[in-house]
Amino acid sequence: MNLKADLLRIFKIFYDPHSVFRSIRDKDEGIVWLTPFIFIIIGTVLYSLIVVPHVIIPEQIERMQQNDDLEEDVLSSQIGYLETSYHFYTSIFAEVGKQLFYYLILAFILSSMQIILGGKKASYGHFFSGVVYVGIIKTAGLIIQGYMQYQQSSSAAGTHLAAVFTEITGFGRHFLHTLNLFSLWQVILLAIMLQVIYGYSKKKSYIVMFFIWFSWNIVIAYFSNLAEIVRSE
């Protein structure tokens, strides 16, 4: 682990991503993903500290209070649980765990592309390191989203298209929720990573990444909509 080199890569991911991915591909510096991952954890915890007590928990309580099927003693017990420190901290750990799961799965998908589409030899570690550095962009977007949600006291706020097209509901709203400036930025960076690490052409890299992004968003939107339907029943 080279802290100075890691910090330099973190800054360069914003303005010179090609050099970041080349350094990950060409140099053997041990664990190069740890420093950016620590930044991601700190950013995720910061987001949770902003949103969970001020937006998420109040919305959960409001939904329960609007549920006429809950008896008074049950409602009081569940609201009491939501206000406990245990629920608060488990919500933060769940958000951190969700982020870790996201990077592990994304790196697995990208490292599997070699089997399907070919390309230069690369390890899972190359892609996990790459997606973690790209995750700095995702985390920056998460913090900005958290600030917007805090300001508007609504989990619906953010830089996504669902905040613009508010009249759309159901699956369409959840799909639009996955489309935002920072996710598009990530797709572009990941396409560059495929060019550098696999040696794909620019066209091929962007087609692959936009296909993965579109498919991923459909799956997320489907299950988010399904969960909302189940909660409303």
What was the pLDDT predicted at 162? 86
Q: What ranges do the domains of the chain cover?
A: 17-232
For residue 89, give Cα distances in angstroms to 52, 75, 83, 95: 9, 21, 11, 10
| pLDDT, tens digit, 9 for 90 and up, residues 24-46 | 988 755 688 999 999 999 999 99
Q: What is residue 29's predicted lDDT score, i.e. its pLDDT? A: 52
DSSP track, 130-159: HHHHHHHHHHHHHHHHHHHHHHHT-TT-SS
What per-residue confidence (pLDDT) applies to 81? 87
Paired strand residues for 160: 180
- pLDDT, residue 17, reads 95
pLDDT of residue 155: 87
* CA dihedral (199, 201, 205, 208) positive or negative: negative
Identity at 12, one-letter amino acid code? K
Prediction pTM value? 0.89
Whether the Cβ atoms of residue 109 and residue 11 lie closer than 8 Å to each other: no
Task: Determine the pLDDT at residue 203.
Answer: 95
pLDDT by residue for the chain (233 residues), tens digit each?
678 888 999 999 999 999 999 999 887 556 889 999 999 999 999 999 999 999 998 988 888 888 777 778 777 888 888 888 888 899 889 988 988 899 999 999 999 998 889 888 888 989 999 999 999 999 999 999 999 999 999 988 888 888 888 888 889 988 998 899 999 999 999 999 999 999 999 999 999 999 999 999 999 999 988 887 876 66
Tokens at 107, concatenated = 């790196």
Give the model's pLDDT for residue 233. Answer: 64
- Amino acid in position 122: A
Residue 144: the pLDDT is 93
Q: What is the DSSP letter of 120?
A: S
